[in-house]
Structure 1
Amino acid sequence: DLLSGGRLDFGVGKGYRHSEFAGFCVPAEEAEARFQESLAVIVKAWSSDEPFSHEGRFWRYDDIVVEPPTAQKPHPPVWIAAGVPDSVRKVAALGANLLLDQFASTEAIGERIALFKAECEACDRAFDPMEVAVARNIYVACDADDASAALARQASIHDRMIERSRGPDGSRRSHIMAYADTPGASEANVLFGPPEEIIAGLQALQAVGVSYVLMSGGEPTRANMLRFAAEVMPAFRPDS
C-alpha cells in the first residue's frame, strides 16, 4: 500500500477446495470461523494506532503494533469473494466490497448484485456499484482460429480446476463446480471472440448492474490487453 501510494486493494476468500485445507492439516469445517477471526485481526492491525491485543479461538496476540501504517485510512479496501446468497449477505454486513466469481451466469450475477444492494440498504450502508466486481475470462481474438485455440486452452484450465476442486470421495464441494458436466461448461461465462462479441457480453453484464469487471485469461496477455484497450474499451467511453 505504501509503495503504490495507497492503491492496494485487499482481496480475500475463505476457500472451497478440499486440498487447500488438507495441505495445511486444517479441517474444512473450520473455514468460516477461521476466516472471520483472521479478517477481524487484519483489519484491527491496520486500523489501530495503539498496541492492541487479541484472544480468539485460533489466534492470540498481546500488545502488538503493525508498522509502518498503511497509506489508506483506516485501511485498504477489503474485497471478499462470495458466490452464494448467505455469503453475499455477510459481505454487506461486514462493510466490505463484493467480489463475484467468474463462473456465475449473467442472470445470477444480476440477482446477487440486487441482493447485495438490498442488504447494504438494510444495514444503513450506502450502495456503491463500484464496490461490486465481477471476474471474467476475456480474450479478444484476432480471428476464428485464434478464438478456437484460446477456448481449447481455457477448456484445459477448466478441467484441471474441476479435478482439483473435488473432495477425497470424488464429490464436488462447491457451488462453483455444480455446472461442471453441463454442455459447454468450459466455455460458459467466458468472453472469447471478436471485439463485437466481447462488447456485447460486457454490455449484458452492464445491463444487470455490473460497473466493475476484473479481466483475466487469454494469453498472450500483453497483446490481449492491447487489443482490448484499442477495440473494446472505446465502446464504454461516456461519450460513446
Structure 2
Amino acid sequence: MQFAIGIPQFAFDPLELRCFLVRAEELGFDGAWTQEQIIGSESFIGPVELLAYAAACTERIRLGCAVFVTPLHNPVHLAKSIASLDRLSRGRIDVGVGIGGRGLPFAAFGVSSEDLVDRFTSGLQLMKRLWTESSVTFSGPFWQLQDAVMEPKPVQQPHPPIWFGANYPNAVRRAVRMGDGFIGAGSSTTARFRELENIARKAMAEFDQPDFAIAKRVYVALDDNANRARARIDRALKSLHGRGDIISVAAYGSTEDVVRGLSEVTDCGAEYIVLNPLFNDLEQMEWLAAEVIPRLV
C-alpha cells in the first residue's frame, strides 16, 4: 500500500503551504495531489501553478493532479506545462486525465459536449507524441500540426505516468488500454469503486496490462466527536462539489471510524490511496500519519 495526501487548494498563506508540503515529505507520504476546478465559487488555486510551487518546496515526494479535464485544455499547451513541471520536479509528476462529468460549462471553453470522447482520446494521443517524438505531424478533427517540435522532453520516459479518472465501464476499459493507472474519484462511493475495480481487473487480463495501478481518493475528517466530523466534512463537500448528497463518500469520525472506512477501500483492491482532508489540513495530516496509516500497512 502507498498513501498520498491532498494538497490544500483553497485560499491560503503560501508560507503555511510550504510548511505543509515539507512536513508531508518528512512524514513519508508517497505523493501529494491536487484537483482541478477552473470555474467555481470556491477560492481554488490552479493545479499547474500549485504543482510548480510544490516542486520547489520538496525533494522526494511525487506530485500529481487528479484530474485534468483534458477536453477543456489545448493539448499542446497542456503537454508543454506538464513537461515543464516534470523538468522542474526532476521527474516526480503524475498526470491524471479525465473527460469531465455532467454540469461542466463546456461552452465556456468553446467545447461541445457531443464529441468529448473523441476530443479526449485525440488530445491524449497528441500529448504523448509531443513528449516522445522529435518532430510531430498530426492531422485530426480538432488540432493540426506540421513538423512541430516540443523541447525539452519530460524527465520521465517515455512520459509521466498517466492516471485516468473514470466512472463508467467503457471509461475504465479505455484507461487500461491507454493509461498507467485508474484513480477512483473522491466523489464516488466505495461500492461504486468496487464495481469499477472489478472491471479494471478484467480489462488488465484482457489487454495484458499486469502493472496497471489502481487508486482511490478518499475525503477524510478525523475528530473524536463523530457528529462534529460529519457536519464539517458535509459542509466542505457540499461547497466543493455543489451538491448535498455526498457525505457517504467520506471516511470520518474517530481513528477507528476512519481506519474502518479506509480498510473497506483497500479491501476493494486499491493499492494507492489519496487521503484528502478538507479542513485543518496540517493537523489532519499529522493524525493520519501517526494513527491511521500504521494500521493499514
TM-score normalized by structure 1?
A: 0.82
1:220 is matched with which residue?
Answer: 280
1:66-105 equivalent positions in 2, closer than 5 A: 66-105=150-189
Are residues 118 and 22 of structure 1, via their aligned partners in 2, closer, same or farther at CA, if it must alter by over 3 Å?
same
Q: Cα RMSD (Å) of the superposition?
A: 1.8
Paired amino acid for 2:242: M
The aligned runs of 1:50-61 (5 Å cut-off) are 50-61=134-145
The residue aligned with 1:195 is: 255
Deviations 1:163-204 (A, max 9, x none): xxxxxxxxxxxxxxxxx6xxxx33112011111111111111
Check whether the contact 2:167–2:184 (CA below 8 A) recurs between aligned residues.
yes
Contact in 2 for aligned 1:88/1:116 (Cα 8 Å)? yes
1:40 lines up with 2:125 in the alignment: yes
Alpha-carbon distance, 1:55 to partner: 0.8
Give the conservation status (yes or no) of the 8 Å contact 1:54–1:62: yes
What code does the residue aligned with 2:124 have?
L
The residue type paired with residue 255 of structure 2 is P
Deviates more, 1:224-233 or 1:210-219: 210-219
Secondary structure of residue in 2 paired with 1:226? helix
Point out where structure 1 has 5 or more consecutive residues left out of the alignment: 163-179
| Structure 2 segments unaligned to the other structure (5+ residues) | 1-85
With the length of structure 2 as denominator, give the TM-score of the two structures.
0.67
SS of the residue corresponding to residue 258 of structure 2 reads: helix
What's the CA shift for 1:157?
2.0
Tell me which structure has the larger Cα radius of gyration.
1
Using the alignment, how far apart are the partners of 1:9 and 1:24 within structure 2? 24
In structure 2, C-alpha distance between the alignment counterparts of 1:26 and 1:38, rounded to whole Å: 13
In structure 1, what is the Cα distance between the partners aligned to 2:250 and 2:144? 43
* SS, match of residue 232 in structure 1: helix
Classify the secondary structure of the residue corresponding to 1:23. helix
Q: Say whether residues 1:15 and 2:97 are aligned partners.
A: no
Change (3 A) 1:52 1:151: closer
Report which structure shows greater RCO (CA 8 Å, sep ≥6).
Answer: 1
Match of 2:115 in 1: 30
Match of 2:290 in 1: 230
